[in-house]
Amino acid sequence: MEESTDRPTKKKVVAVVGGGLVGALNACFFAKRGFDVKVFETREDIRQAKIVKGRSINLALSHRGRQALNHVGMEDKIVSQGIPMHARMIHSLSGKQSPIPYGKKGQYILSVDRSNLNKELLTAAETYPNTKLNFDHKLQDWRAETGLMTFVRSDGSEEQIKADLIVGCDGAFSAIRKQFLRRSRFNYSQTYIPHGYMELTIPPINGEFSMKPNYLHIWPRNTFMMIALPNTDKTFTCTLFMPFDEFEKITTGDEVIEFFQKYFPDTIPLIGVDALKRDYFHLPAQAMVSVKCSPYHIGDTCVLMGDAAHAVVPFYGQGMNAGFEDCIVFDEILDQFNDDFSVVLPEYTRVRVPDDHAIADLAMYNYVEKTC
């Protein structure tokens, strides 16, 4: 029998663990190269879910993120669904607003809806016939020696799957990374900052944005800070960053209003007194963690990307963007070394660790600068 002329490496099974922003985009990158791609996501399919749990409602997409989307033909679509933000709009205590541009004229970052972006990327991944999305699959354990992964489903059943390459895109509390921690010469650090964050909404007024939409609005107040990013439904999502002990001091609706009157008076009519009193207690403030580690790979079987490799505090707006850039960098190294994982993985660690650590440091620097 004649031997197949197909490049055998293209048939390798790549398991992407985590179908969040970076996992879904990465699935497109691997599928485009012809690998047999399987995505495993612990949540149900967010495209069918009534409520999508997760972190921030919207995010700032910048140049490095857009470049990665461009590689898989998604840039125009996502950009058309985002809102350009040309400048930061600084709100002083007196209510004065002063713009500070992000760059030269015409340059901007985009406010994009996290859940919509994730849905679009999952749909894009699914259009490749060599990709299968597996929801309700929570990675419980895996073996570095064999590449064998164990998943549990919500009905308690277990499934075991083997892959040639496991790509850990399962976020800041990565289950994939746990195996790395058991190994010698793996460096790891995790820092929780004293601040938490809470999201509030500024609704439209008469069907229109209640503030200028093409800005990232910022209320800097020493140890506190609030930001607001526009959404396509004409609302703004505000994120209040504040030390946890300050959040905890406020225990009644009247105290919320008192606090806002003192620090963010111009936002009270925009958010609304009743909404403020209610929404402040809707969910507890969320923690923020910075994770640094190295190496990002084990042998030729596993690699970490996105927050699983480098969760950063959000003050630089680059967590997702850096995770998207991970996908391009890995793709370029696959090109360079002809998909040979035994060379690609160590090279990825060599090239990528310093850059991702730099992003983590810059984010932490911006945190200190803005809030401490």
Q: Which residue is nearest to ligand FAD (CB)?
A: 20
Question: Binding to ligand FAD by residue 213, rule CB under 6 A?
Answer: no
Rounded Cα distance, 299 and 287, in Å: 33
Tell me the Ramachandran region of residue 140: left when phi exceeds 0, alpha when psi lies from -120 to 50, beta otherwise. alpha
Nearer to ligand FAD, 17 or 165 (CB): 17
Q: Which two tokens stand for residue 97?
A: 């607003």
Does 175 help bind ligand FAD (rule: CB under 6 A)?
yes
- The one-character DSSP state at 144 is T
Interaction residues for ligand FAD, span 13-32 (CB under 6 A): 17-23
Number of H helices, E strands in the chain: 12, 19
E strands, 35-176, are 36-40, 58-61, 83-85, 87-91, 97-101, 109-113, 131-134, 138-142, 148-152, 158-162, 165-168
Q: By the 8 A CB rule, do 302 and 148 touch?
A: no
- Of the candidate residues 147, 196, 306, 346, the single one contacting ligand FAD (CB under 6 A): 306
The rounded distance, in Å, linking the Cα atoms of 223 and 235 is: 26
Joined tokens for residue 53: 């749990």
Question: Nearest distance from residue 6's CB to ligand FAD, in Å?
Answer: 30
Binding mask 71-110 for ligand FAD (x = CB under 6 A): ----------------------------------------
Q: Which of residues 29-48 bind ligand FAD (CB under 6 A)?
A: 40-43
In angstroms, give the least distance from the CB of 307 to ligand FAD.
Answer: 4
Please select the residue that binds ligand FAD; options are 147, 171, 230, 295, rule is CB under 6 A: 171
- In this structure, are residues 225 and 219 in contact, taking their beta carbons and an 8 Å threshold? yes
CB of 95 to ligand FAD, least distance (A): 25
Q: At what angle do helices 319-336 and 341-371 cross, to 10 degrees?
A: 160
Burial 84-107 (b: 16+ CB within 10 A, else e): bbbbbbbbeeeeeeeeeebeeeee
DSSP for 177-189, please give it. HHHHHTSTT-EEE
Q: Based on CB atoms, which residue is closest to ligand FAD, 143 or 337?
A: 143
Check binding of 210 to ligand FAD (CB under 6 A). no
Least Å distance, CB 25 to ligand FAD, is: 8
With b meaning 16 or more CB within 10 Å and e meaning fewer, what string describes 257-279?
Answer: bebbeebbebbeebbbeebbbeb
Note whether 124 binds ligand FAD by CB under 6 A: no
359 part of the interface to ligand FAD, by CB under 6 A: no
Near ligand FAD by CB under 6 A, which window of 92-100, 155-163, 248-256, 304-312? 304-312
Which SS3 state, helix, strand or coil, does residue 304 take? strand
Binding ligand FAD (rule: CB under 6 A), the pick from 59, 165, 166, 293 is 59
Q: Tell which one of 121, 228, 320, 344 touches ligand FAD (CB under 6 A).
A: 320
From the list 5-13, 89-97, 307-315, 355-363, the region that binds ligand FAD by CB under 6 A is 307-315
Map the footprint of ligand FAD across residues 225-264, applying CB under 6 A: 239
Residues near ligand FAD, by CB under 6 A: 17-23, 40-43, 55-56, 59-60, 138-139, 169-171, 175, 197, 239, 288, 306-308, 314, 317-321, 323
